[in-house]
Amino acid sequence: MSQKISLVLYGNTGAGKSTLGNTLLGHLNEFKESNQVESETKVTISKEGQFNNLITSITDTPGLQDAENEDQIHLKQMIDFIRNKPDIQAFVIVINYGNVKLDMSLRKLFLILDNMYHGKKWYYHIAILWSNYHKNIPENLRDIEPKKSGFKRFLKAHILPNISEEELNKIPQFFIDSIEAREEDSTCRKKLEHLLLWINELSPIQQNLGEIVDVDHVIRAKEEEIERNRIIKEETEGNTKKITYADFKRYKRFHYDETISFSDWEEIKGTKKGKDTKTELKTISGEIKVVDSSWNEKTRLFGLICIDNDHHEVGHYYVEKCEITEEREWKENDKGEIITGDWKEIKRGKVQQITTRSYQF
């Protein structure tokens, strides 16, 4: 058994982390306590004390969902602090019993833990402490089972979909009131001692799981997206078209708050390539088919305005449209000779040519 019990308190602003920390230290003023929406704890700090003859090292962290919107700064400082404190044995997640549901900030907290020890069973080192359980709750309305089962569903649905029921049941959950736990021989004090004894049986997290993996406290995960053969330059000289291609990549970024963002597209080095082509078009042989016509009126087809006939002028004006369906390539060889290919059907769709013809009486 360890000589000193070392733990970290996590939770939302106002959940009661600092109050609990002071109780576990045997003091009443080591950490600033507040019931307000603004967090009193601004940086991650550790203090040592004693609870029921057990030596304790308590690390208090700034509350998430901070009213001053400094979560990102707090998380980075918290991760760096914990990385340099190898004796930590457990994370105690403090949740206000009065919360109707587990919110996004708690989900973010668990996802960060999962990233800190990615692929490892970090949940063997967590305990859930529901605070303010006795406060303002009549005894006949106290029911821990919905909260216990609700937390297990939350963890499996949003954080660890592959965790087994047996593993979920091993995560201890405690229901206490931190102020009441300061009274000798109170039920809450005995529960807190039980929590500390459970932690005392654990080896340090760094010893079991290794050092914290570098983790982005803003972006949870990202996927690489690649766009191949994007045209970045196109030039035409006579019948020759010069095209330059390159592959590009960007990252699809998944944030802890469930939003998604994208990085800018960047050209992948070494993928640039060019191609020169010469193309002729061949019209369908045979009679041209008139697909639309106009007489003594203005007609607009495919953006071209046909002749507006004057009623005093004798004549008919027809708009004709024919389809071009084949193409072939030709190249010039080293001797200056033109080499032509076979006519092939146009794969990109039918090319349409519009002409205007005038017929006089």
E strand residue ranges, 97-186: 126-131, 173-175
Q: What is the pLDDT of residue 102?
A: 74
Residues in contact with 73: Cβ distance below 8 Å, sequence separation at least 6, in sequence order: none
The token pair that represents 112 in the structure block: 């960060």
175, 144 contact by CB (below 8 A): yes
Contacts from 290-294 at CB under 8 Å and sequence distance 24+? 290/318, 290/319, 290/320, 290/321, 291/320, 291/321, 292/319, 292/320, 292/321, 293/318, 293/319, 293/320, 294/318, 294/319
The answer on pLDDT for 352 being more than 70 is no
User: Which of 112-121, 226-235, 295-304 is the least confident region?
Assistant: 295-304
Strands 90-96 and 5-11, sheet pairing: parallel
Domain edges within the chain: 5-209, 219-277, 283-359
Task: Identify the pLDDT of residue 347.
Answer: 57
CA dist 132 and 150 (Å) reads 18
Task: Please work out, in degrees rounded to the nearest 5, the angle formed at the alpha carbon of residue 202 by the alpha carbons of 196 and 207.
Answer: 135
Q: Taking the model in full, what pTM does it have?
A: 0.65
Mean pLDDT, range 81-85, rounded to an integer = 84
Average pLDDT over residues 35-39: 51
pLDDT tens-digit series, residues 119-175: 899 999 999 999 988 766 667 677 888 889 999 999 999 899 999 999 999 999 999
- Rounded Cα gap, residues 309 and 316, in angstroms: 8
pLDDT for position 35: 56
Say if CB 18 and CB 25 are below 8 A apart. no
**Residue 51 pLDDT > 90, yes or no?**
yes
- Reference 110, options 10, 214, 236; nearest CA is 10
Structure token pair of residue 88: 């930590």
Among 8-12, 86-90, 317-321, the range of highest mean pLDDT: 86-90
**Where does residue 319 rank: exposed (0-12), middle (13-18), buried (19+ CB within 10 A)?**
buried
Widest CA span in the chain = 117
Residue 178: pLDDT above 90? no
Torsional class of 143: left (φ above 0), alpha (ψ -120 to 50), beta (otherwise): beta
5-209 falls under which CATH superfamily? Answer: P-loop containing nucleotide triphosphate hydrolases (3.40.50.300)
Place of tokens 């050092």: 211
Helix axes 17-25, 187-200, angle to 10 degrees: 80
